[in-house]
Amino acid sequence: MPSDANSERQDRKSKKAKPSKIQQQRKDQAGQRRPRSLLVPIAIAIFIIIVAGVAALIVFRGHSSTQPTGSITNSSTSKPIILYENQENSPVNTSNFGALVQFARSQGFNTIFFQISRNGSLLSCCDTQGDLQYFVTASHVGGEKIFFVLAFSNSSQSLPSSSFVYKAGEDGIDLDMSTLPPSSQSNLLSALKSAFNGTTAVTTYNFSTTLKPDWLIFETYNWASDVQYVHAGIIASVEVLSAGSKQNYESEFNTALKNSDGVMVFDYWALKNKGY
């Protein structure tokens, strides 16, 4: 009889130790769960991949040629060949930026000057970190460098205060401030060098300026009188509307590229509409 009791106790102990199927399933599921701390970086990485992929699709969709047309001689140079996008003439945002990149590539440009600020304030197209990072990603996927342009009209204006402007991954920042007195221009350039670690540029029609950005760009738009200021050490410019014809535009472009450190064309809207 005692042996029967011992046997019964052993059976109950054995049954108690064995987990049910439901308990075992819960245990297996718990072991398969990912820690929450891993989900956030994984989600961010997936988001970045998606953004880059969308940017690539926008840039390359419908694009079949990257060679310049006409008599422009810029296909083999390492000099900056800049297309200036003026938001006043042709507003560009995330919905149509891909078309700008495609056009720049098709015309042989390797750098885009993209205006994001006017009078010291960010434009509505460009007032978030996501906007600026999109422009940078799409440009780089399309093989273009991108400089953000900060445009000023009087000496009371200052650099945009948003720190993300200077940390979006852009290749450089240009100060468009020709109407300001020399002291204000000098102060703005000093402030930019303190806030931004990349390449600095200045576009100006003051051909005697003493400013020392990394890229000094002379706005030599009145070609007949300004061609004398085209020389090594600066980047000369061509204004499409002032050129008057495709032949003049190509001649001015080639002269600027040959005799200075590069060429800037003003602007995207005019060049696209003229069909040069």
242 within some domain: yes
**Any domain includes 145:** yes
How many CA within 13 A on the CB side of residue 14?
Answer: 6
Query: Are 245 and 251 contacting, i.e. CB atoms less than 8 angstroms apart?
Result: no
Beta carbons of 241 and 234 less than 8 angstroms apart: no
pLDDT score, position 65 = 40
Q: How many separate helices (H) and strands (E) can be counted in the chain?
A: 10, 9
**pLDDT averaged over consecutive 10-residue blocks of the chain (276 residues)?**
49 49 51 52 52 48 44 74 96 98 97 96 97 98 98 96 97 96 97 98 96 98 98 98 97 98 98 96
Q: What is the CATH number of the domain that holds 245?
A: 3.20.20.70
Residue of 271, 221, 159 lying closest to 148 (CA atoms): 159
Structural domain contains residue 230: yes
**In this structure, is residue 122 part of a structural domain?**
yes
Check residue 59 and give its pLDDT: 46
Domain that includes residue 198, residue range: 52-65+80-274
- Give DSSP secondary structure letters for 10-73: HHHHHHHHSPPHHHHHHHHHHHHPPPHHHHHHHHHHHHHHHHHHHHHHHHHTT-------TT--
Residue 37 lies in a domain: no
* pLDDT confidence of residue 75: 54
pLDDT at 63: 41
Cis peptide before 4 (omega within 30 of 0): no
Does any domain span residue 33? Answer: no
Give me the number of domains the chain comprises. Answer: 1
Tell me what pLDDT residue 61 has: 46
Please give the pLDDT value at position 77: 79
Which DSSP string do the residues of 170-217 spell out, in sequence order? -SEEEEE-TTS-HHHHHHHHHHHHHH--SEEEEEES-TT-----SEEE
Question: Which residues does 18 contact at the CB level (< 8 Å), separation at least 6?
Answer: none
Give the type of residue at 262.
Answer: G
Residue where the block lists tokens 């098709």? 106
